Amino acid sequence: MQIDQPMFDAKAWKLTVQQQDLTARARDIGQNKFADRAADYDTRAAFPTENYNDLFDANLMGICIPKDAGGEGADFLTYALTAAEIGRYCGATALTWNMHVCSTLWSGLLSDDLEMDSATRALHIKNRGVHYQRILEQRAIYSQPFSEGGAAAAGTTAFATVAHKVPGGWRVNGKKIFASLAGHANYYGVLCTETSDEITELSRRNTTYLAIPATAAGVSVEGPWDPVGMRGTVSRTLIFKDVFVPQDATLMPPGIYFQAAKRWPHMFMTLTPSYMGIAQAAYDFTVNYLRGEVEGTGPVKRRQFATKQIAVAQMRIMLEQTKSIWFQAMSEACANPSKDQLLRAWTAQYTTMENANEIAQLAIRTCGGQSMLKSLPLERLYRDSRCGSLMLPWTSELCLDMLGKGCLYEPGESDE
């Protein structure tokens, strides 16, 4: 079997040694293991458990855990490049792995850039160490359910899932929809609003981020999961009914998520690498298919037709444009980005999510009828790619909305 080339060539994109190493590890398990399993997970809408065993074995579950805590210490771009390589072979694995990694990225690198008093930071470092050791030593999987079906996941209202202060911790009540890894993660990293006997009003400022054990009393998984794409994510509904969560379960101290969403907005771009990988995979498939080189599709060559050459040219243009702006936005992610950087982040998010689907649909049109048979990966890439623009809080619609306003208005300006 031919070994796939890196999505981002080390010399051309000036990758560090660590980036080359981690992306190579991801490509290796992706091409040799995940690619063959993807159709089965998709058909059964089943969680990719075997892939997670491989991710643990390749030490990729701790990719964003700081080095001094035993992880790989990958930065934002390095993680994104690695996740994109996984997305080429199994979108559902890349997307769910993203949820797991975010619990370490947000509590790690991101939190290190945010303001906390020294006592809060010391406690945070102690608490996150508990989560990191669970991942590294007990092979624990984390997920990240924040969606509730309303405006909270869009970032405009407080989460309706409530963590009420009680002696020794919190009592959590609420519901999360589209909770990827439901029934398969060991800990659910739940965003909820903290209340107390004194403070009962829900405020976004009081958002807290708690790791709730899947086995805790009062936690249940409900409902079916039979979507059009990203079927292996198993994003069922989670219910929390009077769940007691101890004090040391915090992934971020109270109030810090609110600060992160404002000051480290690129955090929401972590959903894009899966779709960047899908875009690359749809393009690669098309080239191989038109050259008559896809296994099991016979010796027919289709590349000699001018219309197909033009379509592939269009796909290549779109892929290069997407990779360039995505790489740039991922490279410049930081605390307190400038307005220009934020507008570029929204542009990159929109471009990646929309173009992944556009490239996949062009791929089917160009390759032709036999290419969309279930025996080939293209139709799955097409269905998976459709999900990208729906991911809150930066859906394609919300990106357009924020971009339009951001381009025309400066802070404080209004026409009312």
- The site for ligand FAD (CB under 6 A) is made up of 99, 144-147, 149-151, 153-154, 178-180, 230, 233, 235, 387, 390-392, 395, 397-398, 401
Q: Which is nearer to ligand FAD, 179 or 325 (CB)?
A: 179
CB of 96 to ligand FAD, least distance (A): 7
The tokens of 236 are what? 């069922």
Which of 303, 259, 330 has its CA nearest to residue 78? 330
Look at residue 235 and give its three-state secondary structure: coil
Q: How near is the Cβ of 384 to ligand FAD at its closest, in Å?
A: 8
In the complex, minimum distance from the CB of residue 99 to ligand FAD, in angstroms, rounded to a whole number:
5
Residue whose structure tokens are 């444009």: 321
Q: How far is the CB of 375 from ligand FAD (least distance, A)?
A: 23
The whole-angstrom separation of Cα 82 and Cα 145 is 22
Torsional sign, CA 54, 55, 56, 60: positive
Nearer to ligand FAD, 90 or 290 (CB): 90
> Based on CB atoms, which residue is closest to ligand FAD, 156 or 338?
156
Q: To the nearest whole angstrom, how small is the minimum distance from the Cβ of residue 149 to ligand FAD?
A: 5
DSSP-H helix ranges across 75-117: 76-87, 91-105, 111-112
Q: Reduce the secondary structure of 340-355 to three states and give it as a string.
A: HHHHHHHHHHHHHHHH
Q: What are 8's two structure tokens? A: 């981002």
Closer by beta carbon to ligand FAD, 143 or else 355: 143
Nearer to ligand FAD, 151 or 310 (CB): 151
Residue 343 beta carbon to ligand FAD: minimum distance, rounded to whole angstroms: 17
Compute φ and ψ for 212, nearest 5 degrees.
-100, 125
With respect to ligand FAD, which residue has the nearer C-beta, 141 or 179?
A: 179
With residue 317 as reference, give the H or E element that holds it: helix 306-331
